Amino acid sequence: MKQNLKKELENIAKEALQASRELAILPTGAKNAVLKDMARALLSSKAVILRANKKDIALSRGRPKAFIDRLTLTPERIKQMADSLLDIVKLKDPVGEVIRAWKIPNGLRIDKVRSPIGVVAIIYESRPNVTSDCIGLCFKSGNSVILRGGSESLNSNIAIYNVLSKVMGRHRVPAGAINLIATRERKAVDALLKLNNYIDVVIPRGGEELINKVVRSSRIPVIKHYKGICHVYVDEWADLNMSERICFNAKVQRPGVCNAMESMLVHRDVAARFLPGMLKKFKDAGVEIRGCALTCRIAKWARAATEIDYRTEYLGLILSVKVVNDLDEAISHINNYGSHHSDTIVTENKDNALRFLARVDSACVYLNASTRFTDGNQFGMGAEIGISTDKLHARGPMGLEELTTYKYMVFGSGQIRE
Question: Which residues of this chain interact with a second copy, rule CB under 8 A?
Answer: 21, 24-25, 102, 104, 108, 110, 117-118, 196, 200-201, 215-216, 219, 221-223, 239, 242, 245-246, 248-250, 253-254, 335, 357-359, 361-370, 372-374, 378-380, 390-393, 395-396, 405-417
Q: H or E element: which one contains 394? A: none
Residue of 111, 109, 50 whose CA lies nearest to 77: 50
Contact 145, 178 (CB under 8 A): yes
**Closest approach of Cβ 105 to a second copy, in Å?**
9
Strands 288-291 and 144-148: unpaired
**Closest approach of Cβ 184 to a second copy, in Å?**
27
**Cα separation of 199 and 13, whole Å?**
7
**Cα separation of 263 and 309, whole Å?**
9
**Closest approach of Cβ 27 to a second copy, in Å?**
12
**Cα separation of 188 and 370, whole Å?**
40
**Phi/psi of residue 398, each to 5°?**
-110, 100
Measured from the CB atom, the residue of 325 and 415 that comes closer to a second copy is 415
Measured from the CB atom, the residue of 48 and 409 that comes closer to a second copy is 409
Residue of 113, 64, 208, 40 whose CA lies nearest to 411: 113
Measured from the CB atom, the residue of 201 and 264 that comes closer to a second copy is 201
Q: Which residues contact 305 (CB under 8 A, 6 or more apart)?
A: 290, 291, 292, 295, 320, 321, 322
Measured from the CB atom, the residue of 162 and 368 that comes closer to a second copy is 368
**Closest approach of Cβ 25 to a second copy, in Å?**
5
Alpha carbon separation from 39 to 72, 122, 132, 255 (Å, rounded)? 19, 21, 9, 30
Measured from the CB atom, the residue of 196 and 306 that comes closer to a second copy is 196
Measured from the CB atom, the residue of 66 and 104 that comes closer to a second copy is 104
**Closest approach of Cβ 201 to a second copy, in Å?**
6
**Cα separation of 399 and 402, whole Å?**
5
**Closest approach of Cβ 215 to a second copy, in Å?**
6
